[in-house]
Amino acid sequence: MVKMQTMIEFRGGGATCNKAPECNSTLNDSVITKRQQNLKSFIISTPKVILKKFQNLKKYKSAFTMAEVLITLGIIGIVAAMTLPTLIQKHQKKVLVTKLQKVYSVFNQALIQSQLDNGEFDTWPTRENIVVEDYFNTYYKPYFNGVQFCRNAQSCGYKADPDADGYEANKPWKNLDGSTVGWVLASGETRLMFLLNDGSFVFIPRNSTGENGEAVYISYIYIDINGGLTPNVLGKDVFMFKIDNKKGFVPYCYERSQDSINANCTKNSSGNINCCTAKIIMDSWQIKDDYPW
């Protein structure tokens, strides 16, 4: 007896397929392949779609207007105008203190060595016993590198006052209140001037005249830390020291109280002296906010 096989017929003609696993496997492979193609197409196209959307988004992103740019620049300018002077001033103060510390150290070391070789300062010649260049060559020149003797203010780099005559033309320094410092910057029997190799100017008036015309022995030393360059003001670039046989090279007013030092270093300070050197050192080598800058 012949066994009949059941056949599955597909419309449209073509081969028939038994209800066997091979038939189902072929069908499933076809479906999987199509899905794989769709997935591959999706993976390839997705970045392009995202990129296109991002590009479209950039088209609609708004830019700064000219008004907004100008306003922003204006704000930046205002902030800079408010802060820049303070920053510049802080820098200038720091530079000044650094120079002052350096010249203080250099002069102090030179003075110590000179006194070891030539005796204490009080024993050095005064007034009529001074032959100024010999005095300079003996007590100062050997103890500094590249030091230069000066006859007058102009030979040390200062500009003469065009409105003054004679000795008055050699008074380039000002007090903090704007008045003229009375010292004439000229080397002679009673005073000595020289330049250090860093451009600092040293003025040593060994004697002055008292109220009754008598000779007065003094031990002031003025140092202009930038020589003939401006501002040439006591307390700003010209600083006072003195020589003490016991304490050595010290700031002028060092023996005074803190209140006295502060009172003699203000914008109203005048005369030939002030205590600003002592104030800076008293304030731990700083120019603080209460300094008459």
Percent of the chain beyond pLDDT 90? 46
Domain contains 237: yes
The pLDDT score that the predictor gives to residue 11 is 46
Domain contains 43: no
pLDDT band at 38 (very low <50, low <70, confident <90, very high): low
Number of structural domains the chain divides into: 1
Q: Which has more pLDDT, 53 or 92? A: 92
The mean pLDDT of the chain is: 82
The pLDDT score that the predictor gives to residue 286 is 96
Give 60-82 pLDDT, tens digit per residue: 556 678 888 888 888 888 888 88
Domain with 265, as residue range(s), is 94-282
Q: For residue 118, what are its two tokens?
A: 């030539």
Judge whether 97 and 280 are in contact, CB under 8 Å.
yes
Domain contains 37: no
The pLDDT score that the predictor gives to residue 219 is 82
Strands 220-224 and 215-217: unpaired
Domain contains 287: no
pLDDT band at 1 (very low <50, low <70, confident <90, very high): very low
Domain contains 64: no
Domain contains 160: yes
The pLDDT score that the predictor gives to residue 160 is 78
Give 78-135 pLDDT, tens digit per residue: 888 888 888 898 999 999 999 999 999 999 999 999 999 999 988 988 777 788 899 9
CA nearest to 255, candidates 237, 277, 224, 272: 277
Domain contains 178: yes
Q: How far is CA 72 from the centre of its chain?
A: 28
Cα–Cα separations (whole angstroms), residue 108 to 48, 95, 132: 79, 20, 21
Domain contains 159: yes
Q: Which has more pLDDT, 8 or 211? A: 211
Cα dihedral sign, 83-87-92-93: positive
Give 224-282 pLDDT, tens digit per residue: 999 999 999 999 999 999 998 888 899 999 999 999 999 999 999 998 889 999 999 99
